[in-house]
Amino acid sequence: MPKSVSICVIGSGYVGLVAAVCFAEMGHTVTCVDNDEAKVKTLRAGGVPIFEDLLPDLLAKHRDKVEFTTDLASAVERSEAIFIAVGTPQGDTGAADLSYVEAVVSEIARHIGSYKVIVEKSTVPVYTNEWVSRVLHRHGVDPKFFDVVSNPEFLREGTAVIDFLHPDRIVVGANSERSADVLKRIYAPLTDGTYYDQPGALPGPCSAAHPARVIVTSAQSAEIIKHASNAFLALKISFINAVGNLAESVDADIEDIALGMGLDSRIGPKFLRAGLGYGGSCFPKDVAAFHWVAQKQGVNFELLQEIRKINETQREVFFNKVLSALWTLRGKRLAAFGLAFKGDTDDIRDSPAISVIKKLLEAGASVTAFDPAAMDRAKDVLPPSAKMNYASDMYEAAKDADAVLILTDWKEFASIDLVKLNQQVKFPIIIDGRNLYKPKDIEAHGFTYVSVGRPASYHAQQGKPRGLAS
């Protein structure tokens, strides 16, 4: 493969850690810096602080090529490219809080003695590249010693490693040829296909014959590409949920509608899944930050506000489904399948599941939850109590439940043994916020089934409750 580049990644969170090990997989020498000494100690010992498929394998494989440290000065001095992958949480106004980025840039400035490419890997608003340059200038760094590049990530939790190594596109926002060339050298194993010919290369959609594609733009364009991409995906989710609510009101089936729409090559099927709406660390804050940027630039982009409103309303819609199916919630025992914001991750940030469970508890219900990965994190925000319990598996969670709620789209939930589940519950009622099942299949196993954007399916022995919405 092409010559190795010395890379520093600042931040060992979700983006930083995945980037660090994937750069090592591509043949580069990587130093990953974090100011959390406990996390660095865990990583040095081979521990993995986040739940992500293939990440433990790559960390074990490249322990000799990825150094974890708290010494930012040394890492900056010996690196050609410095990737900033620290948090940019949402502030009170909706804007991204860039204080962590500024603090890191100020520290980098103290240790630049030769040319460095400073790369925005964190999700940041447009013109952040200019502010990073200003901070470096204010600290007396000679302009000939640095360039600032935007290289946004497009990773999905649960498939982040494959997304990194087999990307739909690699976006490099560089305002100088010199800095663009450094990024091209870094990603050359993917863009010239040499990585995919290596023994042990992780398989995916890219190959030596069809390598990854790199797009070089201005830094400003790259920054907008990231926000615009996430906002558009959020739009698709909110749009199909709004259509789902309409479909349900006229006894249509949103699954059929989404199929009919998605087969149009101009639309595509991805993200046309009706349900509880989006959550996680990216879509909510990125939509809000993109709207804030538009407002600051004097651009009327109220569509972004509507995306957020529909998404927030969808959780209330699901809560009302539970209420309609059970009449009252006080004293009811509910089984909650799922706590993470989506399957294949332990991330509970802005999880619709957590939001719904909090409302159910406030309404007087008791909840027993199960999630394959997210229970430890959930206990920090939903501590065990007389009304909030955690189970070791799905069937334990469902024991004597008045209803089973599907809140996260884990594959395990879609393949549950319905006969065994029926034997565990007090009443055979499933309220599915992820549309994991076909109504006829559930009804055939004796369940009343309420889902999103489809007519409710009431088992003959139970019947449809009068005067209540389906």
Indicate if the alpha-carbon torsion angle 230, 235, 240, 245 is positive or negative: positive
Amino acid at 333: R
Active site (annotated) includes residue 282: yes
| Residue that is written with structure tokens 């998404």 in the block | 311
Which of the residues 8, 22, 32, 282 is marked catalytic?
282
Sequential DSSP letters for 406-456: E-S--HHHHT--HHHHHHH-SS-EEEESS--S-HHHHHHTT-EEE-SSS--
Strand partners, 33: 10, 69
DSSP 202: P
196: DSSP letter: G
Q: Which residue has the tokens 């400003």?
A: 220
CB 365 within 8 A of CB 332: yes
Instruction: Go through 279-314 and write b for each residue having 16 or more CB atoms within 10 A of its CB, e for each that does not.
Output: bbbbbbbbbbbbbbbbbeeeeeeeebeebbebbeeb
Q: Angle CA(375)–CA(376)–CA(378) in degrees, nearest 5?
A: 60
Relative orientation angle of helices 283-296 and 219-249, to the nearest 10 degrees = 120
Q: Give CA–CA dist 11/30, Å, rounded.
A: 12
CB 111, CB 72: distance < 8 Å = yes
Catalytic residue set: 282
